[in-house]
Amino acid sequence: MTAHVARVLALDHTGVLGGAELSMLDVTAGLGGDVTVRLFADGPFREALQRRGVDVQVLPMGALGGVRKGSLVPSPRALLAAWRLAGDVAREARTARTVRVLYANSEKAFVVAALAAGRCGLPAVWHLRDLLGPPHFSRLNTRGVVTLANWRATRVIANSQATADAFVASGGARDVVRVVHNGIDTAPYDAVTDASAHALRECVSPGAAHVMAVFGRLHAWKGQHVAINALAQLPGDCHLWIVGAPLFGEDDFAAGLRAQVERLGLASRVHFLGFRNDVAALMRAADVVVHASTLPEPFGRVLVEGMLARRPVIATAAGGVREILTDGSTGVLVPPGDAAALARAVSALRADPPRAAAIAQAGADHARRAFGVAAMVRGVRAVLDEVAG
Ligand code: UDP
């Protein structure tokens, strides 16, 4: 353990870089010396935090790692692992004396924070970035975590109104919830030049007349298979970039996507780019950014990013998406899971470049105004300050 532990002890269960972790990266970097991070698994997230100067260490989570969102009930071994981890966190918080609040960034982290809060007498804040309840979470899992939240969460920060509403609809106490939208750093988007985007495009899809690109971890509900089916209905000079990796063990789904591409004879038009750190440049290099989630999205960072990249964004109309863009002005909405509607939306934008450009510009202006990192950090800090006293 480091000698210095700050006022906020922040917890996250994973070492991979999902959207929740990328957002926490900006939050904790924004909080600066006020925060110490403990992760329950090692990985690129820990490295990214260190690169940003955030104090971080890993406390391995043992059997708690085996619990999945859809799990009915955690095993006794997982519960024991959570209890032990909570003991470690509580001990560290008590020993450090400076800690005033436990700040959890994921469901598993919140379970640990809630158990630790009782043992060290500190308030717990849950940054909720998931839509609780089916279809994302089992009813039992939801009931368990909401009961814990009603008992132990002094505040729940929801990343969208949709996330807040799902928490309350699942039985969560309304008065503890504060909505703080995610903010996205504009610097990588400002840094992309047309020349570098053009070079990148030629490198990935030489000669492609039209490129649609979908970004995010490979997972059935993220809808990459729908984007592939949409491509099958588009002319042969249109290509699809699939950017992202199976972050949480969805290797079978990823293999299924490749098989689908082969079966449809699209191998020369679909490019699997894996996990990338140059999302801003790739978005700018594409003609249209597609969000294809088949289930409601809690927030959807990729929407704001596509808008910042000054690309028209086509997204599925569910969950927090409607809080980010408005159909026909700052983006285009299609029904979830509807490949034909997605293909029609891509074709319509391609056929009308002035409309595509107007939507892209309006989206970029809106994203800059509404989803800044500074506002997000201010919002989270205000909640932590209120609770920490
Ligand atoms: N992302 C990335 N590299 C990739 C694919 C995705 O950095 O290859 C980022 C993407 O830019 C976004 C995040 O992963 O910031 C995904 O966040 P989102 O809210 O869209 O989905 P989540 O993973 O939280 O469900």
Q: Map out the domains of the chain as residue ranges.
A: 8-183+372-388, 187-370
Determine if ligand 1 sits within 6 Å of the CB of residue 279: yes
Tell me the CA–centroid distance for residue 246 and ligand 1, in Å. 11
pLDDT at 4 over 60: no
Instruction: Provide the mean pLDDT of the chain.
Output: 94
Distance, in Å, from the CA atom of 166 to the CA atom of 205, rounded to the nearest integer, reads 40
pLDDT at 5 over 80: no
Q: pLDDT-derived band of residue 207, with 50, 70 and 90 as boundaries?
A: confident
Tell me the CA–centroid distance for residue 281 and ligand 1, in Å. 14
Tell me the CA–centroid distance for residue 103 and ligand 1, in Å. 22
Distance, in Å, from the CA atom of 124 to the CA atom of 149, rounded to the nearest integer, reads 9
Distance, in Å, from the CA atom of 189 to the CA atom of 183, rounded to the nearest integer, reads 13
Q: What is the pLDDT of residues 370-386, one digit of tens each?
A: 999 999 999 999 999 99
Distance, in Å, from the CA atom of 67 to the CA atom of 263, rounded to the nearest integer, reads 34
Compute the C-alpha angle 166/168/172, nearest 5°.
120
Q: HSE-up of 37 (CA within 13 Å, CB side)?
A: 32
Atom of ligand 1 nearest to the CA of 245: 8
Please, are residues 323 and 160 in contact by the beta-carbon 8 Å criterion?
yes
Atom of ligand 1 nearest to the CA of 273: 8
Tell me the CA–centroid distance for residue 175 and ligand 1, in Å. 30
Average of pLDDT values for 303-309? 98
Atom of ligand 1 nearest to the CA of 276: 8
Percentage with pLDDT > 70 across the chain: 96
Determine if ligand 1 sits within 6 Å of the CB of residue 243: yes
Of 309, 310, 334, 337, the C-alpha closest to 322 is 334
Atom of ligand 1 nearest to the CA of 274: 8
Tell me the CA–centroid distance for residue 118 and ligand 1, in Å. 34
Residue given tokens 């030629």 in the structure block: 202
For helices 19-31 and 44-51, angle between their N-to-C axes, nearest 10 degrees = 30
Probe target for ligand 1 pocket from 214, 301, 303, 316, with the most ligand atoms within 8 Å of CB: 301
The residue type found at 95 is T
How many residues are present in the chain? 389
The per-residue pLDDT for 53 is: 96
pLDDT at 1 over 50: no
Of 34, 84, 80, the C-alpha closest to 59 is 84
Determine if ligand 1 sits within 6 Å of the CB of residue 136: no
Probe target for ligand 1 pocket from 16, 23, 181, 215, with the most ligand atoms within 8 Å of CB: 215
In this structure, whether the domain defined by 8-183+372-388 belongs to CATH 3.40.50.970 is answered with: no
Residue 231's H or E segment, with its range, is: helix 224-231
The per-residue pLDDT for 66 is: 64
The residue type found at 158 is A
Q: What is the pLDDT of residues 259-294, one digit of tens each?
A: 999 999 999 999 999 999 999 999 999 999 999 999
The per-residue pLDDT for 52 is: 97
Determine if ligand 1 sits within 6 Å of the CB of residue 305: yes
Second CATH level (architecture) for the domain 187-370: 3-Layer(aba) Sandwich (3.40)
Q: What is the pLDDT of residues 42-82, one digit of tens each?
A: 999 999 999 999 999 999 776 666 666 655 567 788 888 89
Tell me the CA–centroid distance for residue 313 and ligand 1, in Å. 15
Probe target for ligand 1 pocket from 23, 279, 282, with the most ligand atoms within 8 Å of CB: 279
End-to-end CA distance of the chain: 26
The per-residue pLDDT for 97 is: 82
Distance, in Å, from the CA atom of 311 to the CA atom of 304, rounded to the nearest integer, reads 10
Q: pLDDT-derived band of residue 96, with 50, 70 and 90 as boundaries?
A: confident
pLDDT at 21 over 80: yes
